[in-house]
Structure 1
Amino acid sequence: MPAMPAAHRRLPPTAAAVLPAASVCALAVFAVFAAAPTPAHASPSATVSPGSPAPGQRITLGISGCGTKTGRATSRAFGEVRLTPGHPETGNLVGSADVPRTAAAGSHPVTFECGGPGGTRVTVPLTVIAGAARGGSGGSIGSTSTGQIAVGGALVAGALGAGFHVMRRRAEAGA
């Protein structure tokens, strides 16, 4: 039987069924991205990290979607901070502040203004917790249980054993 030209070959039934569905999915994805707002038209979004600092702790402030090169953030917890461009391509503004050691515990909203006074405003919560900021490890290390130490030790021992086994196999194969 002679070979059929490529133009007359039929696709397998599964491929014939999948291609139209894939085309519809691709068009749907394109439509979603085409309808999504561009960063210049998106409403500003602000963040404060950490959102629950202790007195004496440094916080990072950020806002994106302003469309300006300057801004400010104000709060009773730290006063006023000027925001500057964080990265030229992302269009975000950043700054940092120290929560004073004398700051009262409780809620202290942070108001971000794009371009300074009179610009678009976004307010996010900031809750100062009671107590002082922990020094040393920055409060990132808590207590470790005996079980956690045992699991960590077993993982280290297993990794060392596997490494020894691989090195021994290589030495035997090379000899």
Structure 2
Amino acid sequence: MRAIRAASAALLGVASFTLTTPTAVATDNQVTSPVFSVSPATVAPGGRVTLSASGCNTTATATSGVFDTVSIRLGSSTTAVVDSDARVGGQYSVQFNCPGQGTGSFNITISGGRSTPTIGSTATTATTAATTTATAPGAVRGGLGGSIAGLNAGQLAAGTALVVAAATATIFLVRRRAEGRRH
């Protein structure tokens, strides 16, 4: 019987503590992972590829061994001309960098023949996880779990009072039950 009483008292104490403890909530919606794309994924030597970095809050860059480094301005896309001496059948990596938010990598394949624009060509797109350690603008605040913007003495006092009241009530009820059964 004592084990049941002790377990119920402990459960009541944990429940009261859990209900009075503030929860951590991340409310900053500005932190997103950028989405990089290359279109088309297969291009002839001398052809053009369209590069974009949506979701990047700054100017992104794209680098490859078959074209010069290009900058992709916020909210736009850009084109790059593939070198005319690119090896037919070769795959070349395109490296994207969105400072403070992440990086991405895609492969483009060099096809044979002359480059002609294709209508309805499919883009290779994927989301990437951030691999940089820099803090993104508007990131979740550290130290307090990002749950509060500042310390409010009134809320802290009210929360502490609720926890103390719950603990006191729990102890009172457990002792009262124990005294009532000793007769």
Taking structure 2 as the reference length, what is the TM-score of the superposition? 0.44
Query: Which structure has greater helix proportion?
Result: 1
Larger relative contact order (Cα-Cα within 8 Å, sequence gap ≥ 6): 2
